[in-house]
């Protein structure tokens, strides 16, 4: 388990433990087999049982292989609102993405999950920059990122790129 020192504090490797992030309205946690039924409804077209179970297993495998953290965003009553993914993990930066189930959209779940993640990363890891991207026409996602303190860094075709600095200055000049 690798520990870093940054600003006088011990920092943990992002894959040292699976994060459990929580506020008064949501919990961001590991997706398990018990979540398969709700996971089926994550995408615009429902997944079949076998694929939903496979997806839950893949989330665990990605974490064990240190490739990605795919966590469920759950409401206070345990309903799966969406998924938050952390990938392209480097020593000082990560890329994030999220997907919210259609009936759960526009209730602030993505923004709360991103804010909880920012707090976790700044307090517990050596991550200094978070990157994200979304389709230029996805105004809801762009609004989430901008409300959470991300700034636009570029456009690649129809994709708008963003970054959020947890410490110091932007790496994009």
Taking phi first (over 0 means left), then psi (-120 to 50 degrees means alpha), and beta for anything else, what does residue 88 get? left
| Residue pair 140/46 in contact by the 8 Å Cβ criterion | no
Q: How far apart are CA 155 and CA 134, in angstroms?
A: 10
User: Would you say domain 3-165 falls under CATH 2.40.50.140?
Assistant: no
Strand, coil or helix: what is 47? coil
Condensed to tens digits (0 to 9), the pLDDT of residues 17-32 reads 888 999 999 999 999 8
- Look at the pTM and tell me if it is higher than 0.85: yes
Least confident stretch, 36-45, 115-124, 140-149: 36-45
Structure tokens at 58: 């893949």
Decide the pairing of beta strands 68-75 and 159-165. unpaired
Q: Pairing between strand 129-135 and 151-156?
A: unpaired
Q: Which residue has the higher pLDDT, 127 or 17?
A: 127
What is 73-134 written as a DSSP string? EEETTS-EEEEEEEES--SSEEEEEEEE-GGGTTSSHHHHHHHHHHHHHHHHS---EEEEEE
Q: What is the mean pLDDT of the chain?
A: 88
Highest mean pLDDT among 5-19, 47-61, 128-142: 128-142
122 close to 166: Cβ distance less than 8 angstroms: yes
């Amino acid at each position: 388990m690798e520990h870093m020192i940054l600003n006088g504090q011990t920092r943990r490797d992002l894959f040292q433990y699976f994060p459990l992030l929580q506020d008064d309205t949501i919990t961001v946690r590991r997706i398990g087999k018990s979540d398969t039924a709700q996971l089926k409804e994550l995408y615009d077209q429902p997944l079949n049982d076998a694929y939903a179970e496979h997806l839950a297993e893949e989330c665990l495998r990605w974490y064990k292989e240190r490739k990605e953290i795919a966590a469920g965003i759950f409401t206070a009553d345990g309903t799966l609102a969406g998924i938050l993914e952390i990938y392209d993990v480097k020593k000082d930066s990560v890329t994030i993405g999220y997907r919210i189930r259609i009936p759960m959209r526009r209730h602030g779940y993505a923004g709360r999950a991103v804010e909880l993640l920012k707090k976790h990363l700044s307090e517990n890891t050596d991550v200094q920059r978070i990157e994200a991207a979304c389709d230029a026409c996805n105004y809801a996602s762009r609004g989430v990122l901008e409300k959470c303190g991300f700034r636009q860094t570029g456009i690649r075709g129809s994709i708008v790129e963003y970054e959020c600095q947890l410490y110091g200055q932007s790496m994009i000049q």
